[in-house]
Structure 1
Amino acid sequence: MGITMAHRLIRPLQALALCALLGACRSSQAAEAPAAARMLTRIEGFGFPESVRYDPDQDVYFVSNMAGPGSLKDGNGYIARVFAGATDRAEVFIQGGKNSVVLNAPKGMALRGDTLWVADIDVLRGFDRRTGAPLATIDLRPQRAVLLNDVAVGPDGALHVTDTGIAMTDKGVIYQGGDRIFRIAPDRTVSTIASGAGLGRPNGITWDPDGKRWIVVSFDPFRSEVYAIRPGDSVRTILARGPGKFDGVERLADGRLLVTCWADSSLHVIDGQHTQRVVRDLWQPADLGVDTRRGLIAIPLALQGRVEIWALSGRTAGNRE
């Protein structure tokens, strides 16, 4: 989610578009990495990429790009589409200001049916996952949303959206309060399932089908947590703690949790009571995605304008869809 270097990137959207047209988004092989994980590819040329969502039906990665400060309503946000089987092929798929699209600083994404749902500051926007055409807008300004961050779909089709309660400005991240988790029912009725400072600036969210619960990570700068919340209950069950600023979370098919962390620049794997840092030296890693076809992990690095593709050793990284 980092944005403090926004002024140093010049025309990132045009750079990615040109890169895609030439088929030349740099895809480089990694050097030796720890045994727990191995980097396969770097995909360069993005404009502050914040989230990756894999679409198994089309075999593509959607990458949301803030293209500037994450709280600025500048209309220049965009979503790139990268072909997972050939990551040197990329294109600007949805672009703010074109084809009737409004998109400011997109962050977390979720797929439900043929709709790609995207968190965009204080509204949730829906786009056709195949054409990119705008389909819907759910306005959470009446609920006083501050910064919608991640989106996940529950077994009942309801969307769950975190509000981290921060402002992302060219001067850095400023806490404003208003930590909440919203539920948007299939009929688009909005409710709040949890709220308050105890949520620790909720960031990433995902559904745990075996535990029948929501898994949330907190972005508190000094003491981050991974916790579970069951439907219909706002009580938190702490699963793990960290040094601060947990960002993205994904649950794997074997029950392990993947969590990105700013404070120690790492990707953590949480397996029951055991936590392991499997990837280090990640500069402000954001909302990761899981390639369920290949068992790979896609990690966006906003300040560096790239997405890194990693393979975990041992058990597969495949995820339930």
Structure 2
Amino acid sequence: MVLSQINLAEARQVAGLRSPHSFLSDPAGKEYFISNVNGEPDARDNNGFITKLDAEGQVVDLKFVQGGGEVTLHAPKGMALVNRTLYVADLDTLRAFDQKTGRPVLTLPLTAPPKASLGKPVSLVDVAWDGRTFLYVSDSANNAIYRVDVGNQHAVVLLVHDNRLAGPSGLAVHPKNGHIIAVSWDKGKILEITPEGALIELVSNGFFTARFQNLRGVDFDRWGNMYVSDQTKGKIWRMTPNHRFHVIAEYLPSPADIGIDRDNNLILVPYQYADAAEMNGLEAPTEARSKGQKRTLADYGFVPPPPKPQPEGATKK
């Protein structure tokens, strides 16, 4: 495995997982959750589970939520936290669990409207929260994204159905403009969708420039840089706000739905076929540091950044 611009010395490993799909942080950086498919990704076997980690990345409960008995959880994939509720995409159903106890609090089956159906069952892959009212859920089989109104009894509407989505997988909400970013599994595209459902292709492969293959996850850091994982090519890319691409990690064993802990500046990577996951510090972008300022551990998210030097002649308050 080769990692560049990620602090390997401080990497934190999580073992004992079973086909981990998504790695999510609490917005406050106090807890982490990993969804485990634990079998075939489309099997209704009710043996999926969700692992809970503490602030240090140590496993608190390997099977914090576990399918079986009173809990139904088949093949959990993407997740989102809304207040104290953990939403999980599970085949054709959006499920929700109490973040503290793991008890189920919502079961919301989704059905593809006739105009969106491709004759295939709904196949939910990821969930993203806009920070206000709406959840967005990707349906890879039907090239659709649904909007769920959390404040209105979880009412569901079809936001967009477009073949250009090409198997939408990971979702994220852009921290600057609130648009939805979707990555394509089938054709390796990055797309932007407005809250009204208008779709724009941000990045697509050309005949001579097949940069991406099967994109699985997408998220943003605190500076607005976008990160995408290519599960088949084993790479993680960073796209800066001015649309420059850099490979920050390669030769990875099946990186799935990555997450970014913006509070602690960490990248969270589940390795689906390696039954493991990893937490790494992200390097601060060059423009975030003043010229000549030496790197510190703060550039990797592990200690608070040093105070900015006072300009000459400035009066301290």
Aligned to 1:309: 279
- The question of 1:234 aligning with 2:192 is answered no
**Aligned residues of 2:130 and 2:178 also touching (Cα < 8 A):** no
Structure 1's consecutive aligned runs of 4 or more residues displaced over 4 angstroms after TM superposition are: 142-145
Cα distance between partner residues in 2 of 1:142 and 1:193: 11
Displacement of 1:240 after TM fit?
Answer: 5.7
1:182 aligns with 2:146: yes
- For the residues of structure 2 that align with 1:56 and 1:92, how far apart are their CA atoms? 21
Alignment of 1:239-250 (within 5 A): 239=203, 241=205, 242-250=211-219
Q: Tell me how far 1:35 sits from its aligned partner.
A: 4.2
Q: 1:131 aligns with which of 101, 105, 112?
A: 101
Q: Say which of 103, 113, 123 aligns to 1:147.
A: 123
SS class of match (1:52): strand
The reply on whether 1:164 has 2:140 as its aligned counterpart is yes
> Kindly tell me: are residues 185 and 317 of structure 1, through their superposed partners in 2, closer, same or farther at Cα, counting changes over 3 Å?
farther
Distance 1:114 1:213, change over 3 A: same
Question: Does the CA-based 8 Å contact 2:127-2:171 persist in structure 1?
Answer: yes
| Structure 1 residue 198, shift from structure 2 partner | 1.2
2:254 paired with 1:278:
no
Percent identity between matched residues is 29
Q: Which of 207, 217, 228 in structure 2 is aligned with 1:259? A: 228
Between the two proteins, the alignment pairs up a number of residues equal to 272
| 1:85 Cα deviation from its structure 2 partner | 1.1
TM-score (norm 2): 0.80
Match of 1:15 in 2: none
Per the alignment, residue 61 of structure 1 pairs with 32
In structure 2, relative to structure 1, the CA distance for the partners of 1:61 and 1:155 (3 Å cut) is closer
Residue 159 of structure 1 contacts residue 183 of structure 1 at CA under 8 Å; is this kept in 2? yes
Give the equivalent residue in structure 2 for 1:198. Answer: 164
The corresponding residue for 2:43 is 72
Q: Could you say which structure has the larger radius of gyration?
A: 2
CA distance in 2, matches of 1:52, 1:209: 19
Letter in 2 for 1:204: G
CA RMSD in angstroms comes to: 2.0
Distance in 2 between residues matched to 1:118 and 1:273, nearest whole Å: 31
Q: Secondary structure at the match of 1:198?
A: helix
Is there any run of 5+ residues in structure 2 with no aligned partner, and where? 206-210, 286-298, 302-317
Residue 215 in 1 paired to residue 177 in 2? no
The two structures have a TM-score, normalised by structure 1, of 0.79
Q: 1:53 to 1:65 in 2, by over 3 A?
A: same
Structure 2 vs 1, CA of residues 204 and 34 (structure 1 numbering), >3 Å: closer, same or farther? closer
Q: Partner of 1:141: helix, strand, or coil? A: coil
Is the Cα–Cα contact under 8 Å of residues 253 and 317 in structure 1 kept in the other structure? Answer: no
**How far apart, in 2, do the equivalents of 1:219 and 1:192 lie?**
20
Deviation digits for residues 29-87 of structure 1, max 9, x if unmatched?
A: xx9x5441233122111011100111144712101001100100001011010123152
Map of 2:16 onto structure 1:
45
- Identify if the C-alpha distance between structure 1 residues 275 and 127 changes in structure 2 by more than 3 Å, giving closer, same or farther: same
Give the deviation of 1:157 after TM superposition: 1.4
Q: Which runs of 5+ in 1 are unaligned?
A: 1-30, 166-177
What is the DSSP-based 3-state SS (H/G/I as helix, E as strand, rest coil) of the residue aligned with 1:97?
A: coil
Deviations 1:241-294 (A, max 9, x none): 532111000011211001000232111001122111111111221111222332
**Secondary structure of the structure 1 residue equivalent to 2:164:** helix
